[in-house]
Structure 1
Amino acid sequence: MNQVWRIAVKVAASVAVILAAASVTFFAQLAVPGDRATALMNLQTGQEKLWTAEELAPLNERFGFDDPILVQYLHYLTGLFQGDLGTSYTQKRPVADVIGGQLPPSLILTVAALAVAWLLALGMTLLTVKRGRFLSGLGSAWEALTASLPHYWVGVVLLVVFAVQLRMFPIIGGTSAWGSVLPVLTLAIPLAGFLGQVTRDEFVQVLRQPFVTTARSRGMSDLGVRLRHVLRHAVLPAITLSGWALGALVSGAVITENIFGRPGIGQVLVTAVNTRDLPTVSGIVLVVAAIYVVANLLVDLAYAVVDPRLAGAR
């Protein structure tokens, strides 16, 4: 019963986060300066002028702009529960279709970046922690440096060096596995430094535990001790941050996709912001919020896999 209750609480909290994000995006649309019907008419006609009430009436009626705010809000929430994110002002089709066609490339990019970030972080930790002053210092310096790098800077440097100068990768628009290397590294390198810092601190603490000494006294190799006993405990704090990291990577993908000219929600978001396509912007915000929620639920499952004893504690 306790486990069922915990699951129910997590589901309720997840729904609350989505509702909060939906509410914020709805009222943020109302806070945008200017009349929505006027902005939409300007966009559809390509003209900017003072429209009469009669000219704006069809748009106000179609989108319910003249309805009371509470009625608009309830209609918005009802649509969300039915899977309706609204209609794109620019593309004149459901926002769900606009986002749905571009979301898979972004998710593939972010998941690949998260996996590469973990590989880089764990590799640096295993190779440098307690391996002598030079290697330990080198690992710590690498993590501190990379964790402080902004995605746009990493992306531009990788693009100039490896695509423009060395011509090893396509400059823009590469969606193949080879063409995805630079975008993945752009997202993965800063995150790897951050995960490495968290894992390194815990790794050092675990190496001092009595069970590590016991394992070594039984003849287990240093690598075996690190992989079998130390690593599974040292990664737990970083796993906690992986849910947040995945959501952050989706946000970083907006910049990365525009740097490398890749398809994805990044391109859609920039276009929507430039054209004031508010339903599309709010739809992307909700999708990112949902990814955060799902990612954190997956973190709970990861905890149970790494150490089943923690499943009941979370």
Structure 2
Amino acid sequence: MSTPTATPPRRRAGPGRSLKWLLGRLGGGIFVLWAVATAIFFGIRMIPGDPAEAIMGGPGSQASAEALAAARAEYGLDQPLFVQYFGQLWRLATGDLGTSYSLKSPVAEVLGELIPPTLLLAGLALLLAWAMALALAVLSTRSGPWGSAIGSGLEIVSAAVPHFWLASVLIMVFSTSLGWFPPVSTNAPAGLVLPVATLALPLAGFLGQVMRDSMEGAQRSPYALSARARGESETGVLLRHSLRHAALPGIALSGWALGSLLSGAVVVETIFARPGLGRSLLQAVTARDIPLVTGVALFSAAAYVVVMALSDLAERVADPRIGTP
């Protein structure tokens, strides 16, 4: 009779592997920032119009030819395109985001005022989306086939609803008809309810789909069957095993979720007249405010990179089979 071979213990990650993971994340982040800066630089110059007019206040400023020429010389717009490109890359690498054409203020100061309200909106929407997705996944899983079918339908409809349509419906129902919340965002907590709900509902539908599928798989897994055989109740199986595995896809998608929230903020902040990165980005693109567009895009890309790294780390902590970096 052969002796069963013992499974070797999983080796703990050493400093070399952690350093390799960190350097890989850092290199990937630098590449993303470079790609975003490059796409913004060349993309915004494809918009018809003269950037010098934006500096002088727009086409309606009636600036003279001499004033336009002076503005081009001051901002280096009279130089060859690739000279401007590499000059901008150098300034960005040294932390100089430039001065906003339309606001006549340093982009760093403008971002300092715009980032907090947008992060508050996105953070609250992400928490609400997570709570709704987990609740819907638990209820649909515990309610049998009919509950799962109804939950799946609600998730699909919620994920497919456009932000602009949902915002309009919420304003008509909860502001115009019922008068519960203001139609525009204010500093009061009530002014955040409709913008947060508009961002959270579509995201909750998408997260709910992947969480429910993961939870249903966890409920049928061998470790869940083993726990039931040991006398564990269904509630215990749910709390000890299924919820953790249902949360793993949501953790892995946190970076994508942040990108979705920041892009949705463009529509939501505009509809609800809320100051923030999204609304200012739309105005900056319209005004061909190249420094402000670049600053907003780089911050969004940097936030995406950081959240992706944190979600990767959280996923490794939540699931020991993946291992720590």
Give the TM-score category using the shorter length: over 0.9
- Other structure's SS at 1:229 match: helix
Q: Residue type matched to 2:307 in 1?
A: A
Asked whether 1:243 is paired with 2:255, we answer yes
Alignment length (residue pairs): 310
Find the aligned partners of 2:183 and 2:57 in 1 and give their Cα distance.
36
Counterpart among 22, 34, 37 of residue 7 in structure 1: 22
Asked whether 1:181 is paired with 2:196, we answer no
Q: Mean Cα displacement is larger for which, 71-80 or 241-250?
A: 71-80
Contact 1:199 1:234 in 2 (8 A): yes
- Other structure's SS at 2:132 match: helix
Residue matched to 1:212: 224
Q: Deviations over 1:8-56 (max 9, x none)?
A: 11110111100111111112233222332244336287227xx43x443
Judging changes above 3 Å, is the alpha-carbon distance between structure 1 residues 45 and 260 closer, same or farther for their aligned structure 2 residues?
Answer: closer
Contact 1:124 1:196 in 2 (8 A): yes
Asked whether 1:32 is paired with 2:47, we answer yes
Find the aligned partners of 1:18 and 1:161 in 2 and give their Cα distance.
41
- Other structure's SS at 1:235 match: helix
Contact 1:85 1:283 in 2 (8 A): yes
Identity between Structure 1 and Structure 2 (%): 46
Residue matched to 1:41: 56
Q: Residue type matched to 1:121 in 2?
A: A
- Other structure's SS at 2:240 match: helix
Shift of 1:60: 1.7
Judging changes above 3 Å, is the alpha-carbon distance between structure 1 residues 310 and 28 closer, same or farther for their aligned structure 2 residues?
Answer: same
Contact 1:300 1:311 in 2 (8 A): no
The 5-angstrom pairing of residues 267-278 of structure 1 reads: 267-278=279-290
The 5-angstrom pairing of residues 79-118 of structure 1 reads: 79-118=91-130
Shift of 1:264: 0.9
Find the aligned partners of 1:86 and 1:140 in 2 and give their Cα distance.
48
- Other structure's SS at 1:92 match: coil
Asked whether 1:123 is paired with 2:135, we answer yes
Q: Residue type matched to 1:309 in 2?
A: R
Q: Mean Cα displacement is larger for which, 67-76 or 144-153?
A: 67-76
Find the aligned partners of 1:84 and 1:182 in 2 and give their Cα distance.
36
Residue matched to 1:16: 31
Contact 2:99 2:107 in 1 (8 A): yes
Judging changes above 3 Å, is the alpha-carbon distance between structure 1 residues 264 and 55 closer, same or farther for their aligned structure 2 residues?
Answer: closer
Q: Deviations over 1:279-304 (max 9, x none)?
A: 21222122211121111111112112
Unmatched segments (≥5 aa) in structure 1: none
Residue matched to 2:175: 163
- Other structure's SS at 1:101 match: helix
Find the aligned partners of 1:178 and 1:310 in 2 and give their Cα distance.
42
Question: What TM-score does the superposition give when structure 1 sets the normalisation length?
Answer: 0.93
Unmatched segments (≥5 aa) in structure 2: 1-15
Shift of 1:169: 0.8
What is the aligned-residue RMSD (CA, Å)? 1.8
Residue matched to 1:56: 68
Counterpart among 217, 226, 233 of residue 221 in structure 1: 233
Residue matched to 1:152: 164
Contact 1:130 1:204 in 2 (8 A): no
Find the aligned partners of 2:19 and 2:290 in 1 and give their Cα distance.
39
Q: Mean Cα displacement is larger for which, 72-81 or 35-44?
A: 35-44
